[in-house]
Amino acid sequence: MTIFDDWRDGTLSDIEALHALASDLGEIESQLAPLEAERQNLRDQLSQVVNRLGGRASVAGFGKLELTAPTLAKSYDKKRLDQLIIDLATDAPELAQLVAACRTESPRTGSLRITREKPPNLRQD
Using CA atoms, how far apart are residues 58 and 39, in angstroms rounded to an integer? 19
Q: What is the pLDDT of residues 3-44, one digit of tens each?
A: 999 999 999 999 999 999 999 999 999 999 999 999 999 999
- pLDDT category at 111 given cuts 50, 70, 90 is confident
pLDDT recorded at residue 116: 80
User: pTM surpassing 0.85?
Assistant: no
Distance of alpha carbon 54 from the chain centroid = 31
